[in-house]
Amino acid sequence: MAMKFSPRELLAKHQREPIIEVSGLKACYGDTVVLDGVDLNIRRGETMVILGGSGSGKSTLLRHIEGLERPAGGSVRICGIDLAKATYQQLFALRRMMGVSFQSAAMFNSMTVGENVALPLLEHTDLAESTINLMTRMKLQQVGLSGVEDLYPMQLSGGMRKRASLARALAMDPEILLFDEPSAGLDPVIAAGLDELILRLKSAFRITIIVVTHALSSAFRIADRMCMLYEGKMLAVGTVDEIRSHPHPRIHQFINRIPSQPEASSHHYITGF
Amino acid sequence: MPLLDAVGHYSVRQAEYLGALAIQLWRCLRFTIRAHPFGRRRLRWKRVVGQMAEIGVHSLPVLCLVSGATGLIMALQGGAELRKFGAMDAVINLVGTSMTRELGPLIAAIVVIGRSGSAMSAEVATMAVTEELDALRAMALDPVDFVLVPKYLAMLVMLPCLTVMAVFSGILAGGVFTYYSLDLTLIQYFLRTGDILLMRDIISGLVKAGIFATVIVHVSCLEGFLVRGGPVSVGRATTNAVVKSIFLVVLADLISTAFFYFYWR
């Protein structure tokens, strides 16, 4: 297709809600079904938190929204475009307006932190080198990392890498920000700082933010709406208060941090024989 | 029929692999054409130059040693036989033509597979394991464009250059032999080699080098791209890349040699 797609044009054309529609999404790894008929609509400008225990398919759902996996069934639509049927140009135009911060940070280890953050700007814009350098420093400052431009990712701590990857995700001023486990491996102060940053981004730029997490305190703080995945199924979607008072036993258990089995005491082992 | 089953599965897997190679090659060529140095893809060229140094300059010493030793071995072995017929002169033909047509490109390819092919597949496989390839895709950058094209361009330039150096050092080593056994000066030796060699020999050697470059880069990177799972698979990908590259390079050598034998005499 010869036509050029600009992300902003796509967005302007698609004023209708919701910006992201996931319907009946199925995903399998080999024979294991990871997602089984997930429905989720995300409105423009809202912060959606995807909750769920380990192995509930949260990250897989996120990978499908990023268009990194092909669904085994159902569809993911962003701005009305079905990712599985999108042309190469459409898919890449959509990705240019999404910023992704991976769970493992996924910084390019062969480049410095500064080069990592500058990479999308260098590749997708015609900005002058000096402008790009300035923007790189700004983005790093935004996430509380100043003066690390010339270090390599391996020289940073896990938490710093995570924040650097957020800076990289923000480099192109994305319309949609996807965030996999922002606070995993961060100390509470830095995690709170990240929450602040997400709240600031939300109020200042009206960007759509999707956060996958199992950190409840931060989830309740930043979310407009939340949804809960359990064993590949969407249990509930709703506002923070709706989720908080949801009657479903699994959600109740998750929110109130109740262990699923009574803890085994040494007494059980001894009398068990 | 377990045997038939196994044969069928194996054939399907190999056909899939060849298909993947073909698709990757096609996409790579499309990106390569667009990657000219005047566009906005400034970074690509920095990477190409870096790769060139890595592939070319750094493997030059070992390549010259290996190729020189091979040239000398050829001269010694050939000389031992040819002496029986009183045709020691023919050592010059033997070393000159076999180095230019066959051994130069092949030795260069094998040294480069060992040094750079394995490194490439390990690099790409590590990127796959640490989600760096996914991060590229998520940034709207195609891994084929960003990772493979610079390596391909660098290899396409450097392997023919290395081949020339390999041929030269092989022939030079043959000259050392003739200096002592035939009392030819090096200048006389090179002049006679020049008389023997045809343009066809040189061109076919360089064409082979280009084909080998394509095979090495694409097989090595594809092995990396296909990696799923943890660090163990990085090692496996590297092994596979080296084994498959050597096999396919020799196969490509056979096919191109047959082609030149039948269609360009």
The predicted-structure confidence for A40-50, as pLDDT tens digits, reads as follows: 888 888 889 99
> A148-185: per-residue pLDDT in tens?
888 898 888 888 888 888 889 988 888 889 988 877 77
Q: Does the pLDDT at position A194 exceed 80?
A: yes
Would you state the pLDDT for residue B66?
A: 95
The yes-or-no verdict on residue A273 having pLDDT over 70 is: no
The CA distance from A254 to A231, in Å, is 13
Task: Read off the pLDDT of each residue in A73-90 and give the average, rounded to a whole number.
Answer: 86
- C-alpha span between A268 and A263 (Å, rounded): 10
ipTM: 0.83
Give the DSSP H/E element, type plus range, for residue B66.
helix B60-82
Tallying the residues shown for chain B, one arrives at 265
- Looking at chain B, the whole-number percentage of residues with pLDDT higher than 90 is 55
Pairing relationship of beta strands A20-29 and A225-230 according to DSSP bridges: unpaired
Q: How confident is the model at residue A3 (pLDDT cuts 50, 70, 90)?
A: very low
Confidence of residue B42 (pLDDT cuts 50, 70, 90): low
Residue B18, pLDDT score: 92
pLDDT for A2 equals 35
Q: B56: helix, coil or strand?
A: coil
Classify residue B57 by its DSSP letter: G
Q: What percent of chain A has pLDDT over 90?
A: 3
* pLDDT the model gives residue B37: 61
For residues B239 and B241, give the distance between their C-alpha atoms in angstroms, rounded to a whole number.
5
Q: Which helix (H) or strand (E) holds B2?
A: helix B2-34
Predicted local distance difference test score (pLDDT) of residue B36: 66
The C-alpha atoms of residue B125 and residue B231 are separated, in whole angstroms, by 9
Domain boundaries in chain A? 12-97+174-258, 108-173
Closest residue in chain A to residue B41, using alpha carbons only: A123
Nearest Cα neighbor of B105 from B252, B216, B206, B244 is B206
The Cα A214–Cα A220 span in angstroms is 11
Contact present, B116 and B155 (Cβ < 8 Å)? yes
pLDDT band at B254 (very low <50, low <70, confident <90, very high): very high
Q: What is the pLDDT of residues B206-246, one digit of tens each?
A: 999 999 999 999 999 999 999 987 888 899 999 999 999 99
pLDDT at res. A69: 85
Q: Look up residue B230 and give its DSSP letter.
A: S
| Residue A1 pLDDT exceeds 50 | no
Q: For A170, which residue in chain B has the nearest alpha carbon?
A: B139
Give residue-wise pLDDT tens across range A110-141. 888 998 998 888 888 888 888 999 999 988 88
CB B116 within 8 A of CB B54: yes
Q: Which of A106, A120, A126 sits opposite B131 (nearest CB)?
A: A106
Chain B residue with the nearest C-alpha to that of A103: B131
Q: What is the CA radius of gyration of chain B?
A: 21
Question: Which has more pLDDT, B78 or A240?
Answer: B78
- How far is the C-alpha of B104 from the C-alpha of A137, rounded, in Å? 50
pLDDT value at A264 more than 80 = no
Chain A residues with CB under 8 Å of B23 CB are none
Lowest mean pLDDT among A188-192, A220-224, B174-178: A188-192
Q: Which residue from A minimizes the CA distance to B50? A: A110
Q: Which residues contact A113 (CB under 8 A, 6 or more apart)?
A: A107, A140, A145, A148, A149, A150, A151, A152, A153, A156, A164
Percent of chain B exceeding pLDDT 70 equals 96
Greatest Cα pair distance in chain B: 70
B132 interface with A at CB cutoff 8 Å: yes
Ramachandran area for residue B151 (φ above 0: left; ψ -120 to 50: alpha; else beta): alpha
Q: Which of residues 243-262 of A touch B (CB under 8 A)?
A: none
pLDDT tier at B200 (50, 70, 90 boundaries)?
A: confident
Angle between helices B149-181 and B60-82 (to 10 degrees): 40
Quick one: B154 exposed, middle or buried, by C-beta within 10 A (0-12, 13-18, 19+)? buried
Let me know the angle formed at the C-alpha of B128 by B126 and B133, rounded to the nearest 5 degrees: 120
* Three state DSSP letters for chain A: CCCCCCHHHHHHHCCCCCCEEEEEEEEEECCEEEEEEEEEEECCCCEEEEEECCCCCHHHHHHHHCCCCCCCEEEEEECCEECCCCCHHHHHHHHHCEEEECCCCCCCCCCCHHHHHHHHHHHHCCCCHHHHHHHHHHHHHHCCCCCCCCCCHHHCCHHHHHHHHHHHHHCCCCCEEEEECCCCCCCHHHHHHHHHHHHHHHHHHCCEEEEECCCHHHHHHHCCEEEEEECCEEEEEEEHHHHHCCCCHHHHHHHCCCCCCCCCCHHHHHHHC
Selecting from B126, B132, B138 the residue whose C-beta is nearest the C-beta of A66 gives B138
**B46 or B160: whose pLDDT is higher?**
B160
- Lowest average pLDDT, out of A20-24, A221-225, A243-247, goes to A243-247
Give the model's pLDDT for residue A6.
Answer: 64
* A6 alpha carbon, distance to own chain's centre: 23
Which residues make Cβ contacts (< 8 Å) with residue A80, sequence separation at least 6?
A: A14, A16
A173 contacts in chain B (CB < 8 Å): none
Instruction: Please tell me which of A4-13, A43-52, A107-116, B58-67 the model is most confident about, judged by mean pLDDT.
Output: B58-67
Contact B43 A123 (CB under 8 A): yes
Give the list of residues 6+ apart from residue A6 with CB closer than 8 angstroms, or none.
Answer: A93
Bridge partners, A99 (sequence order):
A177
Which top CATH class is A12-97+174-258? alpha beta
> Does the beta carbon of B30 lie under 8 angstroms from any beta carbon of chain A?
no
Mean pLDDT of all residues belonging to chain A:
83
Residue B162 pLDDT grade (very low, low, confident, very high; cuts 50, 70, 90):
very high
Answer whether residue B71 shows pLDDT above 50: yes
Gap between the Cα atoms of A46 and A208, Å rounded: 5
* Of A220-229, A246-255, B249-258, highest mean pLDDT: B249-258
pLDDT of amino acid B156: 92
Output the pLDDT for position B63: 94
CA distance B11 to chain A (A): 21
pLDDT reported for residue A7: 60
Q: Chain A residues with CB inside 8 Å of B126's CB?
A: 109
d(Cα B214, Cα A93) in Å, to the nearest integer? 30
Helix (H) or strand (E) holding B177: helix B149-181
Neighbours of B56 (CB within 10 A): 20
Higher pLDDT, B31 or B125: B125
**Neighbour tally for B173: CB within 10 Å:** 23
Q: Which residues pair with A229 in a beta bridge?
A: A52, A234
pLDDT value of residue B43: 61
